Structure 1
């Protein structure tokens, strides 16, 4: 005898058996966890920035940690969200792929079995829309543009390589990022190059999780399914 159960949110088993041979199978979906982690880190970055703004100490390691966490967790959310759909299709699970046409699920399952886990994140979203016969997100427009930029910043952080920068030799990210969010208040008046020191503030942290959520929402709208973060029942809702 076997009992299988799963949860749409955090993976809490909801089936209980009496027989000694009962097997409870738990299937966890972590995408929403990543999104909330990014949101909470952004809130902490804002609180820290507000409390320290105006002090002589322009760099705060705890504040920087919150910002980097928000960036990395936002992209982790994007990757987990699409992987959950592909993996469910591959393993024949209902969950988030249940509403998709059989042909679409078959294509997704075949791709996952061949190379899905090795494909770039946004390519997996594009291909899912193609398999479903839906319109792709325009790469030069929002929310695709910010999602792509967010992933590039995350890659910069995670695969970091030291480099020299000066105010008259700005990083390429300065052109693409500046103006998307408020500058780091802790660096106000500092002569440091804009990226990363003026960029990596609470504004960047907040932009990160919102950019990720906006992309996922538009993807879900086009493919006509609700993702984990849209159905998971948590006591604290994400702000608009």
Structure 2
């Protein structure tokens, strides 16, 4: 705009600055810290020690394992939500996906995600990853792979904890649908040679905490690699607790 003549010109107005905070990195850092603490506690176990000595350690161990599981799933959910947010705001780091693909992703972002898969509603997180993957790659994820099954089982474990119902557990029963996790990680060392049920007593421990963290990182690195983007958590290395 060109101004001619003499005089004073005063421009008024306002500018709003918004800040979008990313929390996925903090969730996985929390999970890592909890998993490491759980491992440190179990390293204090002494063969033949009495339960009276181990009870306080066991309770603390379970608390940290619980934290690692909850935070691992929180990382998975916040990361995919942040991905769709990036698409919605047309962030620079996702533009390589393609203009048409981003438009389709935004259409799904605006809707409430409804999983067509038969089963519990808690698979909604998994469906968000499936939706993004299929739109970008033009094909679905092989859901029967070990990685996908572990992802689904991790969410189921998280939900069993956060939406807990006190059910009777019999020797041959599996009311929480979690017995398939047996053998995937080392059971809580404080529960050696006891008759308690697998969940929650033997399940929650350093081995489960490590499994939860590693599955969440493995899956998101797989997802970002498959859609051709650099993982936001590439700098986070899987923890090696010496129990795998």
Same fold judged by TM-score > 0.5? Answer: yes
- The answer to whether the aligner puts 1:91 opposite 2:89 as a matched pair is yes
- Alignment correspondent of 1:30: 23
- Alignment correspondent of 2:60: 62
- Residue aligned with 1:208, SS: helix
Give the one of 178, 190, 205 matched to 1:201: 205
- The answer to whether the aligner puts 1:138 opposite 2:131 as a matched pair is no
Give the gaps of 5 or more residues in structure 1: 1-20
- Alignment correspondent of 1:120: 124
Contact 2:31-2:72 at 8 Å conserved across structures: yes
Contact 1:42-1:206 at 8 Å conserved across structures: yes
Query: How high is the TM-score relative to the length of structure 1?
Result: 0.81
Give the one of 215, 219, 223 matched to 1:215: 219
In structure 2, C-alpha distance between the alignment counterparts of 1:223 and 1:111, rounded to whole Å: 17
The structure with the largest alpha-carbon Rg is: 2
Alpha-carbon distance, 1:229 to partner: 1.3
1:158-209 CA-partner distances (Å, limit 9, x unpaired): 1111111133434554541011000110101111112221111110000001
- Residue aligned with 1:25, SS: coil
- After superposition, the Cα gap between the structure-2 partners of 1:168 and 1:130, relative to the gap in structure 1 and judged at 3 Å, is closer
- After superposition, the Cα gap between the structure-2 partners of 1:142 and 1:219, relative to the gap in structure 1 and judged at 3 Å, is same
Alpha-carbon distance, 1:37 to partner: 1.1
- After superposition, the Cα gap between the structure-2 partners of 1:98 and 1:239, relative to the gap in structure 1 and judged at 3 Å, is farther
Give the gaps of 5 or more residues in structure 2: 1-13, 116-122
In structure 1, C-alpha distance between the alignment counterparts of 2:26 and 2:222, rounded to whole Å: 19
Query: How high is the TM-score relative to the length of structure 2?
Result: 0.80
- Residue aligned with 1:137, SS: coil
In structure 1, C-alpha distance between the alignment counterparts of 2:69 and 2:175, rounded to whole Å: 18
- Residue aligned with 1:120, SS: helix
In structure 2, C-alpha distance between the alignment counterparts of 1:53 and 1:150, rounded to whole Å: 30
- The answer to whether the aligner puts 1:102 opposite 2:106 as a matched pair is no
- Alignment correspondent of 2:4: none
In structure 2, C-alpha distance between the alignment counterparts of 1:175 and 1:139, rounded to whole Å: 20
